[in-house]
Chains A and B, each alone.
Chain A
Amino acid sequence: MSRLALSLNTLALGLITLVLGGAFAEQLIMGELPCPLCQLQRAGLIAAGLGFMLNLRFGIYPLHYGLVLFGALVGAAVSIRQILLHIAPGDPGFSQALFGLHMYTWSFVTFVWILLGVAFLLALLQPGAQPERTRHRLGGFVSLAFLLMVAANLVSTLLQCGLTQCADDPTGYAWLDLALSWFKKP
């Protein structure tokens, strides 16, 4: 049972990392820069992922699942906020739709799946069982990938917004443009 729970935690963290990677793909390949609410949803995924990372590193504790739930709930609240901002009839929504749903709607679906998944994982917990710190090579690899994704999000946010307020409808990278303008100076 413990091995199943560890595998599912690894799968969950891997899927969160993939979703964050997908968001980057949309940003870098399709040129859809994230708005402030979009970035907060990415942060919600990161907050949820930290709980799974803690399980893989230190063993499975209910407290870690609590952190996942907290992060997913706040992330879901951000998604709902953005859904409601664009729910009026005739509103085209923000950015392109994927299979008929905008990214913030898919983000809400992802958070709901995380909440349901944690409910299932909590049901697997055996009362009184001691958390095991088992070496899990795949879990280590996935944790490293998640860490790199978090770092990439930090760098991307700094390049896009700098230390100031992010634009509601972003069109470029503030710090990147500033750096390029310095190089172009005669």
Chain B
Amino acid sequence: MFTVFLLGLISALLVCIGHRNLAIATALTTTLLLAGLLFHHMTSKLPISL
């Protein structure tokens, strides 16, 4: 669960220091991870824990 917040923090820090492309990539990864966690919550099909 903490990984989605960690990725969000990394993305926000990258925005602050000026790395636009990396920030966009991590922001996108954050949202994709969030979608994956929602999918897991609904189906419990992924080998992870929330």
Contacts and interface: CB of A to CB of B under 8 A. Distances in A.
B1 interface: yes
Interface residues of A, number: 39
A67 B15 contact: no
Would you call the interface of chain A mostly helix, strand, loop, or mixed? helix
Contacts, number: 104
A150 B12 contact: yes
Contacts of B1: 36, 39, 157, 161, 165-166
Interface in B1-36: 1-2, 4-6, 8-9, 11-13, 15-16, 18, 20, 23-24, 27-28, 30-31, 34-35
B24 A67 contact: yes
**Residue from the set B12, B23, B42 with the largest chain A CB neighbour count within 10 Å:** B12
A116 to B, nearest CB: 19
Given A54-B15, A58-B20, A147-B16, A40 B34 contact: yes
Nearest to B50: A36
Contacts of B28: 67, 70
24 contacts: A40-B4, A40-B34, A43-B30, A46-B8, A47-B34, A50-B11, A50-B27, A53-B12, A53-B15, A54-B23, A54-B24, A64-B24, A67-B28, A67-B31, A71-B30, A71-B31, A75-B34, A143-B15, A147-B12, A147-B13, A150-B12, A154-B5, A164-B49, A166-B50
